[in-house]
Structure 1
Amino acid sequence: MDGAGDGTVDVDGDGTVDVDGDGTVDVDGERGRFQRASLVNVLGNAAKIVVEGAAGLAFGSAALVADAAHSIADLVASIVVFVWGSRRYDEPDTSHPHGHQRIEPLTALFVGAVIVLLGGTLLYESARGLLFGTDVQFSWLLVGALAFAIVDMYLVYRYTDLVNADIGSTALAALAVDCRNDIYTSIAALVGVLGVLLEVPRLDPLAGAFVSGLVIYQGVEIARENVGYLVGAAPDVDQRAEIEERLRSHPAVNGIHDLAVYYDGTALEVEVHVEVDGDLTLREAHDVETVLMEDVGAIAGVGDVHVHLDPGGIGEWKESR
């Protein structure tokens, strides 16, 4: 039995409800903010690559070249998010009847994979520098380039995080984490450059190796999270418990069974059988189902809700609670 025409409560795919306070979700507004934030990431990474790359190549700094090369991966990832990620806001169509929510974690997974691959390359180059030495020359221009990179990434991070506080995009969250980690990697590169000033040149490839390790870890974490979204992983225990409590709190509910909560893209899909009094009229049962779907659908992160009503005490063959 469907309580809302098609048996679902649509909550914008990412769990956000009533952005404007008027009962509707401002999809076009969200899409615009998403695209602006991802474009800022593209421009910020491009500027960082030019400044750090030029300085690193000019003075032979492995740490700066590694940090700039890391940003090449960030640039590719932010371009992919800018071009492809906003499709999460496309309406369902005949080829994607449940919407396009899974495109977002797919783009974030791409970000993670690119970061891991590049991190491995940078780690190899840093190891070569540690084994065979480097020919790096100190210049205050190296320090200036790193200072620019730190300020650049901080501003991009703050803007992306601010925009994403309302949107809740995993792709933008991945870009924001990447920007924040870029600040740490640039600080590590700065330590390497100062090591050259202090006549400890091996600090430069050592800093490059440290940067590479952070890059790989970051990529693995982003990929791991978004694989869960793509394969329909279960949410954490607290989220499931909140959904159960919301269902059981309705006075007409005698019990629930076959509760399935899993990710469909970045939104939670909820399927449940609810036991009610078998003597309810069809209209009364319909009203109960509608309220349950709306209550559960209002929980943060929940997308579609499917409720099947069963008359209590009929001895369903499925697990009962």
Structure 2
Amino acid sequence: MSDTAVAEAGLDTDAAKRGFTRASVVNVLGNAVKIVVEAAVGLTFGSVALVADAAHSVADLVASLVVLVWGRSVYADPDEQHPHGHQRVEPLAALFVGSVIVILGLNLLYESALGLIEGPTVTFSPLLIGALLFAMADMYLLYWYTERVNANIGSSALEALAIDCLNDIYTTVAALVGVVGVFLGYPVLDAAAGGLVSLLVVYQGADIGRENVTYLVGAAPSEAERRRIVEELRSHPAVEGVHDLAVFYDGTDLEVEAHVEVDGELTLIEAHDIETELMDGLRELDDVGDVHLHLDPAGIGEWKDAEETQAGSP
């Protein structure tokens, strides 16, 4: 999240970091409790579904720890080793979470297929249902709290954890359907429900990965985002044209580079003031971080063939 976006949400960097840390710690604790409850009940009554769901949460616990330890560095100030800041750390942590989600989904798909082939080995007990209902409530509270905190922070890593909490609810529902199926004499429901949910989990994990790879490789945003940048520049009365525009992601922030055409008779002080106004205006836009502008005298013709000039023309 850019410093501008944090400020617009009414938070300073320290407050955002504290909120990020609290949400990460709560996710670690919530996953740990779920693991203990499900594993204890599952091992006692031989429920593969509960033990598998607890095993999935072990990976979730690792992902939460990575976000807690690694993701907070996005709020660190730029330094000599990272002159542009640490914005790329956050999508890197989110990419890790997305990868974990995909692995969990594939593992659940395998467990479901195995259940169809080998059949159930579980002894039914009301405690199985109680443990699963507890796990669902635990994950929903984690999801609700993480989303509530992230509403003011806008962290892609926390958003990935929130989605992971929802995925855990889906997998727990699948386990619950399977346990109820065993009780009703239809054990095949365990494997069938698990297979359907696993496909959704894989899809959502892959979607998280795709989005954050875009942030990591410095990809260009949508054409609408480019137009938004050009329109902001050309809205200044002193600007006569824009060319050589480059807009790309630096982590979750947008970095902007552009040549701006102004009156060639301006004094150096006047040109400097215009450049400052333009940079301040762009940095006030959502998601915009660093801005690099070069002022050119209008009419010298060096940008005649530049596509950006045509795209930016009124």
Report the TM-score, using the length of structure 1 for normalisation: 0.90
Alignment check: 8 A CA contact 2:6 2:16 kept: no
Alignment check: 8 A CA contact 2:34 2:54 kept: yes
Task: Give a deviation string over 1:11-39, Cα, whole Å, max 9, x none.
Answer: x7365152586xxx621111111111000
Q: In the alignment, does 2:278 pair up with 1:292?
A: yes
1:273 and 1:19 mapped to 2: Cα distance? 28
What is the match of residue 133 of structure 2?
147
What is the match of residue 73 of structure 2?
87
Q: Which has the higher helix share?
A: 2
- CA drift of 1:244 comes to 1.6
Query: Which aligned runs of 4 or more in structure 1 are off by greater than 4 angstroms?
Result: none
- CA drift of 1:96 comes to 0.9
1:96 and 1:66 mapped to 2: Cα distance? 41
Give the 5 Å matches for 1:16-55.
16-19=5-8, 26-55=12-41
What is the match of residue 5 of structure 1?
none
What is the match of residue 169 of structure 2?
183
Structure 2 runs not aligned, ≥5 long: none
- CA drift of 1:212 comes to 2.5
Q: Pick from 236, 240, 251: which aligns with 1:250?
A: 236
- CA drift of 1:248 comes to 1.1
SS at match of 1:167: coil
Alignment check: 8 A CA contact 1:70 1:215 kept: no
Alignment check: 8 A CA contact 1:92 1:98 kept: yes
1:75 and 1:132 mapped to 2: Cα distance? 29
2:38 and 2:75 mapped to 1: Cα distance? 35
- CA drift of 1:179 comes to 1.1
Give the 5 Å matches for 1:26-175.
26-175=12-161
SS at match of 1:250: coil
- CA drift of 1:64 comes to 2.3
1:172 and 1:73 mapped to 2: Cα distance? 16
What is the match of residue 13 of structure 1?
2
Alignment check: 8 A CA contact 1:189 1:211 kept: no
- CA drift of 1:308 comes to 1.0
1:193 and 1:227 mapped to 2: Cα distance? 38
Task: Give a deviation string over 1:141-198, Cα, whole Å, max 9, x none.
Answer: 1111111111111111111111111111110110011112222222222111111111
The residue identity in structure 1 corresponding to 2:135 is A
- CA drift of 1:218 comes to 2.3
Q: Pick from 288, 293, 299: which aligns with 1:307?
A: 293
Report the TM-score, using the length of structure 2 for normalisation: 0.92
- CA drift of 1:123 comes to 1.8
Q: Determine what percentage of the aligned residue pairs are the same residue.
A: 66
SS at match of 1:260: strand
1:309/1:167 CA distance change after superposition, 3 Å: same
SS at match of 2:2: coil
- CA drift of 1:291 comes to 0.9
Alignment check: 8 A CA contact 2:221 2:247 kept: yes
Alignment check: 8 A CA contact 1:31 1:89 kept: yes
- CA drift of 1:301 comes to 0.7
SS at match of 1:166: coil
Q: In the alignment, does 2:266 pair up with 1:280?
A: yes
1:219 and 1:279 mapped to 2: Cα distance? 55
1:205 and 1:54 mapped to 2: Cα distance? 22
Alignment check: 8 A CA contact 1:14 1:169 kept: no
Task: Give a deviation string over 1:213-240, Cα, whole Å, max 9, x none.
Answer: 2332222111111111000112223322
Segment of structure 1 superposing worse, 46-55 or 119-128 = 119-128
SS at match of 2:7: coil
What is the match of residue 199 of structure 1?
185
What is the CA RMSD across the aligned residues, in angstroms?
A: 1.7
- CA drift of 1:284 comes to 1.1
1:20/1:130 CA distance change after superposition, 3 Å: closer
Task: Give a deviation string over 1:52-74, Cα, whole Å, max 9, x none.
Answer: 22222322333323322221111
Alignment check: 8 A CA contact 2:6 2:12 kept: no
Q: Pick from 257, 261, 273: which aligns with 2:247?
A: 261
SS at match of 2:186: coil
Structure 1 runs not aligned, ≥5 long: 1-11
